[in-house]
């Protein structure tokens, strides 16, 4: 079937909790320093969800902002997808809680889980729904409360992560429209699933005391191995997206990479021979917000003028799974 439609970004939004946890704060409870964290990660501070805040409450605030920016009512939303690896509960889906909060009752709602890559994976799903004409307005949200699933005594992981949510409202337009999502590219390699994971059992063994005592319900990561894989996979998938669209890096107005580690971002930009001044960065303020990282970045770039009408942006991400992906958007 020939697609007669495409997806354009009609509105953006984000939400960050008020509480700021700085590196200086972490010095009080961990064997670490502000200098050590900054030099190795690029992170100076991160946001921490307050009591009563969760993936769904943050997602709803980001989603409401995106709907307002796009000028549509919650009644006009056809589908809500929430990308999260820190859902409110095991089930029902966080997206159903968001639907209720937004009072968007004319749509379906569900979650996807691809951790840091979740939003780009979600974008690939939305692209297909809109291209084939199935829906007209889709709200895609990435929302994470990583602070609830990190071991605050483990300096190798807890310094990296923060909380937040970002959202895009995507709308169906005619294929002839030059704007919109030009392509998405996603991959997984389950052989590398142990590089980043929360190993505690749920469906496999059931929640059990031994896993709790061993802190297996918190994020575990092999830092050095992850760094090497992340740089290669993100670079390769960005190059694939450029080749698919017959673009050069010189034609890209802004690269919006997943904000996992500044050294990863620097290495990717160097391999692509792309100037750092054209790379969007907010990792110093928020740390790694996993599935929320890309949409928070897009919203801030749009609202600050880093993305202008007619610009082409490229997204790139690597996450647990192992998962990775890229997307090209014409604004």
Question: Could you give the residue numbers annotated as active site?
Answer: 116, 258, 288
Closest to 183 in 3D by CA, of 326, 5, 299: 326
Q: Which residue bears the tokens 């840091």?
A: 116
Whether the CB-CB separation of 139 and 240 falls below 8 Å is answered with no
Quote the CA–CA distance of 95 and 179 in Å, as a whole number: 28
CA 99 to chain centre: 20
Residues 6+ apart with CB under 8 A from 177: 6, 8
Cα 164 → chain centroid: 10
Q: Tell me the C-alpha distance between 167 and 74, whole Å.
A: 14
CB 115, CB 319: distance < 8 Å:
yes
C-alpha span between 154 and 34 (Å, rounded)? 16
């Amino acid at each position: 079937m020939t697609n007669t439609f495409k997806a354009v970004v009609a509105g953006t939004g984000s939400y960050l909790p008020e509480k700021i946890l700085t590196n200086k704060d972490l010095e009080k409870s961990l064997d670490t320093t502000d200098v050590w964290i900054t030099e190795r990660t690029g992170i100076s501070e991160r946001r921490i969800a307050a009591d009563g805040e969760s993936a769904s409450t943050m997602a709803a605030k980001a989603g409401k902002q995106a709907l307002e920016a796009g000028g549509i009512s919650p009644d006009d939303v056809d589908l809500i997808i929430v990308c999260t690896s820190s859902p409110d509960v095991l089930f029902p889906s966080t997206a159903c809680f968001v639907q209720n909060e937004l009072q968007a009752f004319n749509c379906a709602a569900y979650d996807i889980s691809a951790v840091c890559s979740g939003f780009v994976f979600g974008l690939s799903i939305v692209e297909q729904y809109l291209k084939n004409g199935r829906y007209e307005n889709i709200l895609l949200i990435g929302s994470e409360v990583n602070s609830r699933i990190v071991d605050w005594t483990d300096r190798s992981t807890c310094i990296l992560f923060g909380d937040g949510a970002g959202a895009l409202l995507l709308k169906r337009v005619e294929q002839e429209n030059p704007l919109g999502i030009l392509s998405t590219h996603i991959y997984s390699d389950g052989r590398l699933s142990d590089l980043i994971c929360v190993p505690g059992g749920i469906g496999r063994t059931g929640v059990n005391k031994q896993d709790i005592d061993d802190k297996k319900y918190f994020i575990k990561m092999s830092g050095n191995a992850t760094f090497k894989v992340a740089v290669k996979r993100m670079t390769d998938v960005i190059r694939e997206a450029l080749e698919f669209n017959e673009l050069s890096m010189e034609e890209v107005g802004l690269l919006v990479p997943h904000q996992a580690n500044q050294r990863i971002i620097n290495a990717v930009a160097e391999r692509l021979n792309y100037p750092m001044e054209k790379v969007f960065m907010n990792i110093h303020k928020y740390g790694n917000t996993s599935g929320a990282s890309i949409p928070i970045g897009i919203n801030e770039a749009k609202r600050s003028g880093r993305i202008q009408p007619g610009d082409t942006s490229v997204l790139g991400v690597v996450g647990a799974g192992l998962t990775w992906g890229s997307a090209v958007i014409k604004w």
